[in-house]
Amino acid sequence: MEPVDLRELLEQVKAGKLSIDAALELHKPAVADLGFAQVDLQRRQRCGFPEVIYCQGKTNEWIEGVVRKLGEAKQHCLATRVSDEQAAHLATQFPTALQDRIARTFWLPAGALEPALGHVTIITAGTSDLPVAREALVTARALGCNAHLLADVGVAGIHRLLRHQHEFSGADAIVVVAGMDGALPSVVGGLVDCPVIAVPTSIGYGAAFAGLAPLLTMLNACSANVVVVNIDSGFKAGYVAAMIARRAARFD
Amino acid sequence: MEPVDLRELLEQVKAGKLSIDAALELHKPAVADLGFAQVDLQRRQRCGFPEVIYCQGKTNEWIEGVVRKLGEAKQHCLATRVSDEQAAHLATQFPTALQDRIARTFWLPAGALEPALGHVTIITAGTSDLPVAREALVTARALGCNAHLLADVGVAGIHRLLRHQHEFSGADAIVVVAGMDGALPSVVGGLVDCPVIAVPTSIGYGAAFAGLAPLLTMLNACSANVVVVNIDSGFKAGYVAAMIARRAARFD
Amino acid sequence: MEPVDLRELLEQVKAGKLSIDAALELHKPAVADLGFAQVDLQRRQRCGFPEVIYCQGKTNEWIEGVVRKLGEAKQHCLATRVSDEQAAHLATQFPTALQDRIARTFWLPAGALEPALGHVTIITAGTSDLPVAREALVTARALGCNAHLLADVGVAGIHRLLRHQHEFSGADAIVVVAGMDGALPSVVGGLVDCPVIAVPTSIGYGAAFAGLAPLLTMLNACSANVVVVNIDSGFKAGYVAAMIARRAARFD
Amino acid sequence: MEPVDLRELLEQVKAGKLSIDAALELHKPAVADLGFAQVDLQRRQRCGFPEVIYCQGKTNEWIEGVVRKLGEAKQHCLATRVSDEQAAHLATQFPTALQDRIARTFWLPAGALEPALGHVTIITAGTSDLPVAREALVTARALGCNAHLLADVGVAGIHRLLRHQHEFSGADAIVVVAGMDGALPSVVGGLVDCPVIAVPTSIGYGAAFAGLAPLLTMLNACSANVVVVNIDSGFKAGYVAAMIARRAARFD
Amino acid sequence: MEPVDLRELLEQVKAGKLSIDAALELHKPAVADLGFAQVDLQRRQRCGFPEVIYCQGKTNEWIEGVVRKLGEAKQHCLATRVSDEQAAHLATQFPTALQDRIARTFWLPAGALEPALGHVTIITAGTSDLPVAREALVTARALGCNAHLLADVGVAGIHRLLRHQHEFSGADAIVVVAGMDGALPSVVGGLVDCPVIAVPTSIGYGAAFAGLAPLLTMLNACSANVVVVNIDSGFKAGYVAAMIARRAARFD
Amino acid sequence: MEPVDLRELLEQVKAGKLSIDAALELHKPAVADLGFAQVDLQRRQRCGFPEVIYCQGKTNEWIEGVVRKLGEAKQHCLATRVSDEQAAHLATQFPTALQDRIARTFWLPAGALEPALGHVTIITAGTSDLPVAREALVTARALGCNAHLLADVGVAGIHRLLRHQHEFSGADAIVVVAGMDGALPSVVGGLVDCPVIAVPTSIGYGAAFAGLAPLLTMLNACSANVVVVNIDSGFKAGYVAAMIARRAARFD
Amino acid sequence: MEPVDLRELLEQVKAGKLSIDAALELHKPAVADLGFAQVDLQRRQRCGFPEVIYCQGKTNEWIEGVVRKLGEAKQHCLATRVSDEQAAHLATQFPTALQDRIARTFWLPAGALEPALGHVTIITAGTSDLPVAREALVTARALGCNAHLLADVGVAGIHRLLRHQHEFSGADAIVVVAGMDGALPSVVGGLVDCPVIAVPTSIGYGAAFAGLAPLLTMLNACSANVVVVNIDSGFKAGYVAAMIARRAARFD
Amino acid sequence: MEPVDLRELLEQVKAGKLSIDAALELHKPAVADLGFAQVDLQRRQRCGFPEVIYCQGKTNEWIEGVVRKLGEAKQHCLATRVSDEQAAHLATQFPTALQDRIARTFWLPAGALEPALGHVTIITAGTSDLPVAREALVTARALGCNAHLLADVGVAGIHRLLRHQHEFSGADAIVVVAGMDGALPSVVGGLVDCPVIAVPTSIGYGAAFAGLAPLLTMLNACSANVVVVNIDSGFKAGYVAAMIARRAARFD
């Protein structure tokens, strides 16, 4: 798609090394067309990780089809928001895959993994935030990053956080998961020199409005190093944190 | 209005100590009818403090009229949200009144004040929250309470707050004023054993939505001792904090 | 955590009365780390009451674990939002605990309670607001406060409220629970000289928007002594009311 | 437009009393086409009152044009939301018209008015609600109804309202104008046996959200006889109240 | 409650015709205190119709208790939002009551009804709006008014409405029930000279937001005679329409 | 309803060719009154397609009744949002009808269809958007238009879209169905010279707010040729797209 | 950009008719890079009309720069949302351009225009909606379409609309502009067999929320042929309507 | 604040190398107390960059005071949201500072800067987004990062973006600034393997709701590497992007 590629094609065609039809074929992006899905097999190359399957609203057959296609292409396969029923179906089809029922994830790597790079810490304000945090954990590890979890250190007892400060102050990126007031990322952000990815959760009383309250809190975080992802989106937080951490670590 | 009062009236009328017309008059609430306003002269007795004038949307004449009426009734007169133009008009009419142009308040006590009772600390997250905090300060003092202000100790540098902990840990009630993420009341609430009155301010970037974001944060505060008032309502926070503090202190 | 504590540590270390390791241990906050939870054992000392367990989104095991840990630390244990299934599990494990299935609370005091201090009245606008009001009642009593309930005196029949005025006019703090128009706290606030904690409920027709309407009403209450907590949060209202009432009563 | 009309036309045409062209003309609704406006001259007949001019966003010329057209058609002319600049222009063109600068209304009756019918009371919660209440007052009187105003009897001092109860309990319809918590209509509704038209105003602190809070309160009013109109729409409230009151009174 | 009442009491006490205790008792409003409910037995006298039971969130026992109490006081008993399970319970206890399962209403008149007065027409935009319209119909009739229903004449086929114009143009009040775009009340309002009570319903695709869209439409109706009630509140619309219609008709 | 029609009637009546009663009958719109529904039999003539049945909130009997009435009038019958239970009932009554359980549609044409005119392409961003897209597909074909579907070409892999550009660049109208960020219509709009009908879906994480997020995105599309319909309204998108495409094609 | 283009390039390069550098240059999209803007000179070819300049938030220099660049490329130049100050500046630089100060548009065609194709009718509910309607009018004509305007026929007087039905029933596309209740598009949609583009305006009382109310109304329009554009976006409505109308007309 | 620090203090005190008072002083965080502000002088050490001054709602004197204090502490001073009036004042006091009036920034480095590390690309969808993008640019450079700007490549002409792909595909972090539909970050995210920081701007027509629309779009971005900051917060985006880029580059 980039000029340099096209120049190569043109040169090879001009030199007679390549037929025009072959050149046109090469110029096409690698997509597996399943009818109900266009699996983007080029994403690993473009973005550093294969397409991830979001399972909500999909039939077992659709999910299974994409898993198989990624497997045929020798690409890692991560799926999120896997329902109990989908998990059971996938377990019969892909018995070697790793499924985490708290995180609702499915993980079927394409082969042996490379050594993990970089360090991500995932922190939760409360115990009820654990499922979202686990989704971030599984994702960060799937992306090839070292990741660990520190649970239930919300701001109502700020000393719980401060006594663990040495555990996260050396991280390359931190994910903070919080519902209710969503205040924890602002505090963590003020204690460290790395990016903080804040994830609002839908945990809380009525005026939390299913995650709207902590979402707004986090968007308004007074610490300059806090960025935000969608409500309950542990996946995206783990993804970006791992991307930052690996990038930071790759020249170590 | 209460049975006991009515019983007294009935007994006095029965005993011939009171005419029926006089009894009916006594039974009426004390209200000064100015046409444009019904000044509630009984509020001091019922609620512990006279009616306070909210100046927004009122003409100079309307405000002046209520101030005069409260003065005639020998009641303290506090006015809030006094615009520059209203302030100038009131200054010419009531030169001895105390006006705070940052807090936008007007204060004309009815006479010598009783000694202050109880202690309120007012804390702000940022410097830009000062006008709202000043409104709380003026109000708490007008209600007869000791009050002092601690500014700019927001959670992005949590140590700024912790090093002042001894200044506010002994307060009878604490007002916390914050815009943006509104995270400070949760943290303060977890450090003390008195009620925290949280005041969201309209300070912040776009997604603060003129105070909606910190309002929701505070309503969802994970500390159990945090209650909330309207956006930018330093007045109400100072009022309730002083009410709590005086009540706590009155038997010292 | 405060300078005075640190000074003592330093002096004792300097005097050789304390080893450095012991001093460091003493300086740490008391937290019980259960992996899925960091139980804040210092909260009773800091805030006047132990950590309270919010059960929504937690497994039976997680809740049981925290209850046991508080018990071992000889601290009162209050849990809210206990589901039917959680209640059944807890009943088998802690048969002496008091459970209120309307309020959805669990209460396991650490030993004999001290005599109750102060008076809280809890008022509801309608009969449907009773579950939230009961949560406030249980909480206020757990905090060591005298509390009683006055139900169904909403403003559509204002005389129902006025005839009970003598029952609540002497309270140290009042909790008002209302859904729909949420108008009752404003009226109650204008009749008394103590703080009113307003609790919006999710009761009402469509445009109540699950409690948003009464929440906004209460935040805009025209009576100066009204503060607000989260939708359906009887717990927080009872907590703060008891805190105010005990504080007011402690020197009686 | 109705069958009976058409039947008459058909009969007259059949009987030769009317040409087909004249019949078609008669069948057309009476509309004055000014290009920028289609003045609905039939509205008085259909709805009981002529078209009313809403001035916001209109040029002086457009307003003047409609006023003249209504005058030519011998219809009363009421205009609302008249800006200062529009008012000045109209004053030069129609010096006999009555303008109320607080209510921002313009009133040019087509001739001598019929005696007023029915009684409307307009009640405000605060002094700042007066401009909206005045718009309702002017409108109700323009519609030929007796109307009077009772200001500043909000629920923070409920006795202020109760002492005036005899003034409004005999009304045929009541308009209640309130900002902030918007609680007054619920209380008034519970005291009377006539409809209450509630008007939310944009008066209040931040979380009133320019009238949204009292609007929701009023829609959720727990009194069954309360209906609601748009924020600050004194006009519509006065209009409907007068329509109800005149209807109730017409057989007196 | 009004001065004249109190004067009578005072005169009778003074004259020795009444003991003080008896006078105090007479001065109290008539309320039946059931603990979980304060049944307002005076409402019929004050407001023209007894208290109506809103069943949502109430136990069978609570509802049954209030029904019995109203029965003992010889007052009509109307209940709304009766669930299937509540309906079954009430049917066993009060077999003579009339229940409408589409409207979800319960109706147990206290005796023979007076002849109906006034005319209300209830119009729906679509067939799916019928349950709400039926609630309005039952309510209007319970209040002693003639009422009939015209279904499915929404604005997508405006001629469906116009051909029925003669059926509703003579009504004393009109209820218009509509979901989705909520456009029908504006059109009906422009065709008649009586008040139109608009009821938004929660029927519609996603951006109807459970009735918010038609609610806003109706509040902004460009016809001056349209007032609005809560989403899906057929009850309140029928109540107010009947109140207006009876008032209009009572001198016929 | 139009003048020309009325003129004809008048002329025929005048000429004695038509009785007045017959003329009045002819002048009435063709509506089938079923009590619970007013079937608009004239819509096909006015709008180009018969009334379509929206099944949500309707009983089996109501739906069946309208289907039969349309059948008797020899009009095509399309129904949308058919629940499983409604579908089963309709299948027994109308076994020849075509039902699509993914699209939730029912289609019973009145006879042989005319040849399809014009071309519509329906594009989805993700696989989960397929049910909404299928509703658009069925609708567009029912309206007599050629339509085909291109699934899962969202902007996260923009090349997936670009490689299919030749498939949709010649369409007469394009429907784009997307949830989550709703970004696809803007991109498609910038690639083509025909109208793009954007349909937001309720697919997505928390801050999609059940379709609100993609709805706003699409309303703000930076491409000038993008218009929007309701959330999940595949029906309306297919309807308008077919209307545009047929209109464009009818002179081919 | 499409395969066929690339094939041609490859063939020409293979045949030696084109150098590789020239081929690469030809393959690039035509964009004029001004630093502050990337003028999309290819849009006319791709989308049928050149890039249109949205002036809000831009300096005079930026706007002037784009106008000149389009002029150099011999493309029509339309600009919208031109402020008074921008208009004055542009008038001095491009004195032959047509500016409409009510519509706030600037129009500088690149040369003689082709004959107009197709018919668009633009209808407004009120007089205050005229500026938005004028923007649609100017845009539709700039796109080469016949367009005319029908103002002030809102639903409060539905007969005003019906008497003009013959004027718009033959249009190829209709734009309906309305604020307040936004009800007009539903009614118009039910009268015609062409697409209706609905434009909500920010005209109205408080609960119109600056156009949100009519926006929601229109998205929920019960007529199937109504699509919606952004608030006050006369431009987009005129653009799409003209696109539809020209397409419909091109084979006449 | 961390255990290791405290251990050192204890050891030094024990060894008599440090007095207790000196130890306590060392243990305090470095904060400059100005009364109206608590300047966090330790933030540079904790977070990698000194406190940044947010100027909105502050007096000239307050800002000047903090600038001077940072200068005395030899720390870089960056200020954002500097109004014209504040800028003029600061220019007289700190004539050597760099001010960017489009970005509204003030920059006064403490001395010679270290060589820049890492690469950030800032991309805007439109020309009107430039002020926000410039704030990001100034911030990223102040943090010591190489940064450049690519303007006006929004998705309505996707080829404008693709032809610049080689300019940003090698960046360590990308900031994407967009108003209106906010669709650009999703597209950019799908083309690269580094984090994308999305900044919604308040640019757009009515339904953009001052940035709410693009904010929601970006939170729902279908590309996994997109994170979001507050509306118009170029500052925070530039800050985090530079933090990521420097971290990635530091071992090059």
**Mean confidence (pLDDT) of chain E:** 92
H71 vs C247: CA distance, rounded Å: 47
Sign, Cα dihedral of F155, F156, F161, F162: positive
How confident is the model over C3-37, as pLDDT tens digits? 446 778 788 888 888 888 887 777 777 888 999 99
Contacts of E154 in chain G (CB under 8 A): 222
Instruction: Please name every residue paired with F148 in a beta bridge, in sequence order, or none if there are none.
Output: F121
β-strands D38-40, D53-54: how paired? unpaired
Candidates E180, E213, E223; nearest CB to G156:
E223
Q: What residues of chain G score a pLDDT lower than 70? A: 1-5, 251-252
Sign, Cα dihedral of B149, B153, B154, B159: negative
Nearest chain D residue to F16, by CA: D14
- Write the CB contacts of E234 (distance below 8 Å, at least 6 apart in sequence): E103, E131, E132, E133, E134, E135, E136, E137, E139, E175, E177, E199
Whether B207 and B214 have beta carbons less than 8 Å apart is answered as no
Asked whether the beta carbons of residue B195 and residue C49 sit closer than 8 angstroms, the reply is no
Sign, Cα dihedral of F128, F130, F132, F133: positive
Q: Which amino acid is at B234?
A: G
Task: For chain B, say whether E2 makes contact (Cβ under 8 Å).
Answer: no
User: Tokens in use for A166?
Assistant: 């040495």
Read off the pLDDT of each residue in D107-117 and give the average, rounded to a whole number.
92
Quote the pLDDT of residue G251.
Answer: 55
Provide the shortest C-alpha distance from residue D162 to chain G (in Å).
30
Quote the pLDDT of residue F233.
Answer: 97
How confident is the model over A198-221, as pLDDT tens digits? 999 999 999 999 999 999 999 999
Asked whether the beta carbons of residue E36 and residue C160 sit closer than 8 angstroms, the reply is no
Length in residues, chain F: 252
- Provide the 8-state DSSP code for E51: -
Residue A188 has pLDDT above 90, yes or no: yes
Contacts of H208 in chain F (CB under 8 A): 216, 220
Quote the pLDDT of residue D125.
Answer: 96
Give the model's confidence band at E4: pLDDT under 50 very low, under 70 low, under 90 confident, else very high.
very low
β-strands B173-178, B146-150: how paired? unpaired
Task: For chain E, say whether D6 makes contact (Cβ under 8 Å).
Answer: no
**Angle made by CA atoms F78, F84, F87, in degrees to the nearest 5:** 40
**What is the layout of strands, in order, in the sheet containing B196-200?**
B146-150, B119-124, B173-178, B196-200, B226-228, C226-228, C196-200, C173-178, C119-124, C146-150
B155 vs B183: CA distance, rounded Å: 7
Whether C58 and A128 have beta carbons less than 8 Å apart is answered as yes
Whether B120 and B171 have beta carbons less than 8 Å apart is answered as yes
A5 vs A18: CA distance, rounded Å: 14
Nearest chain C residue to A201, by CA: C57
Candidates D4, D165, D247; nearest CB to E172:
D247
Interface B:C, Cβ pairs < 8 A: 120
C and H make contact (3+ CB pairs below 8 Å): yes
Substitution target in B12, B14, B25, B26 with the highest count of E β-carbons within 10 Å is B14
How confident is the model over G99-152, as pLDDT tens digits? 999 999 999 999 888 899 999 999 999 999 999 999 999 999 999 999 999 999
Considering only residues G25 and H248, tell me which one the structure prediction assigns the higher pLDDT.
Answer: H248
Taking only residues 14 to 43 of chain F, the set having a beta carbon closer than 8 angstroms to any beta carbon of chain A reads none
Residue F2 has pLDDT above 50, yes or no: no
Provide the shortest C-alpha distance from residue A95 to chain C (in Å).
27
B56 vs D201: CA distance, rounded Å: 13
Query: Quick one: which of H225, H136, H122 has its CA closest to A244?
Result: H225
Asked whether the beta carbons of residue G20 and residue A10 sit closer than 8 angstroms, the reply is yes
Whether B188 and B161 have beta carbons less than 8 Å apart is answered as yes
- CB-CB neighbours of F208 under 10 Å: 25
**Angle made by CA atoms A136, A142, A143, in degrees to the nearest 5:** 90
- Helices first, then strands: H and E counts in chain E: 11, 11
Read off the pLDDT of each residue in F53-77 and give the average, rounded to a whole number.
95
Substitution target in A14, A17, A21 with the highest count of G β-carbons within 10 Å is A14
Residue B89 has pLDDT above 80, yes or no: yes
Gyration radius (Cα) of chain E, Å: 21
Give the model's confidence band at B30: pLDDT under 50 very low, under 70 low, under 90 confident, else very high.
confident
- The residue behind tokens 């002030």 is G152
Whether E164 and E176 have beta carbons less than 8 Å apart is answered as no
Candidates A156, A163, A205; nearest CB to C230:
A205
Residue A179 has pLDDT above 90, yes or no: yes
Whether B146 and B119 have beta carbons less than 8 Å apart is answered as yes
Residue E146 has pLDDT above 80, yes or no: yes
How confident is the model over B90-136, as pLDDT tens digits? 999 999 999 999 999 999 999 888 899 999 999 999 999 999 999 99
How confident is the model over H27-69, as pLDDT tens digits? 777 888 999 999 999 899 889 999 999 999 899 999 999 999 9
Considering only residues F190 and D11, tell me which one the structure prediction assigns the higher pLDDT.
Answer: F190
Per DSSP, helices labelled H in chain H are: 3-14, 20-27, 43-47, 60-72, 84-93, 130-142, 158-162, 165-168, 184-189, 212-219, 234-249
Asked whether the beta carbons of residue D226 and residue E220 sit closer than 8 angstroms, the reply is no
Give the model's confidence band at F251: pLDDT under 50 very low, under 70 low, under 90 confident, else very high.
low
Task: For chain G, say whether E190 makes contact (Cβ under 8 Å).
Answer: yes
How confident is the model over A48-71, as pLDDT tens digits? 999 999 999 899 999 999 999 999
Asked whether the beta carbons of residue G157 and residue D29 sit closer than 8 angstroms, the reply is yes
Substitution target in D56, D212, D230, D239 with the highest count of G β-carbons within 10 Å is D230
H100 vs H134: CA distance, rounded Å: 8
By three-state DSSP, how is residue H166 classified? Answer: helix
Candidates B11, B14, B27; nearest CB to E6:
B27
- The residue behind tokens 């969130």 is E57
B and C make contact (3+ CB pairs below 8 Å): yes
Residue B245 vs residues B178, B198, B202, C237, C245: alpha-carbon distances, Å: 21, 15, 27, 18, 11
Read off the pLDDT of each residue in E208-213 and give the average, rounded to a whole number.
95
Q: Which amino acid is at H93?
A: Q
Quote the pLDDT of residue D251.
Answer: 54
Q: Which of D57-61, D165-169, E224-228 has the highest mean pLDDT?
A: E224-228
Contacts of D231 in chain E (CB under 8 A): 219
Residue C2 has pLDDT above 80, yes or no: no
The number of C-alpha atoms within 13 Å of G120 and in the hemisphere containing its C-beta is 32
By three-state DSSP, how is residue A228 classified? Answer: strand
Residue B161 has pLDDT above 70, yes or no: yes
Asked whether the beta carbons of residue F127 and residue A58 sit closer than 8 angstroms, the reply is yes
Q: Which amino acid is at C178?
A: A
Candidates F49, F169, F228; nearest CB to G228:
F228
Provide the shortest C-alpha distance from residue E30 to chain F (in Å).
43
Whether C152 and C107 have beta carbons less than 8 Å apart is answered as no
D and H make contact (3+ CB pairs below 8 Å): no
For chain H, the 3-state helix, strand and coil shares in percent, each to the nearest 5, are 45, 15, 40
Read off the pLDDT of each residue in C117-146 and give the average, rounded to a whole number.
96
Q: Which amino acid is at B139?
A: T
Residue F43 has pLDDT above 60, yes or no: yes
* Residue A196, Cβ density class (10 Å: 0-12 exposed, 13-18 middle, ≥19 buried): buried
- Write the CB contacts of D192 (distance below 8 Å, at least 6 apart in sequence): D168, D169, D171, D174, D225, E46, E47
Quote the pLDDT of residue C29.
Answer: 72
- CB-CB neighbours of F67 under 10 Å: 19
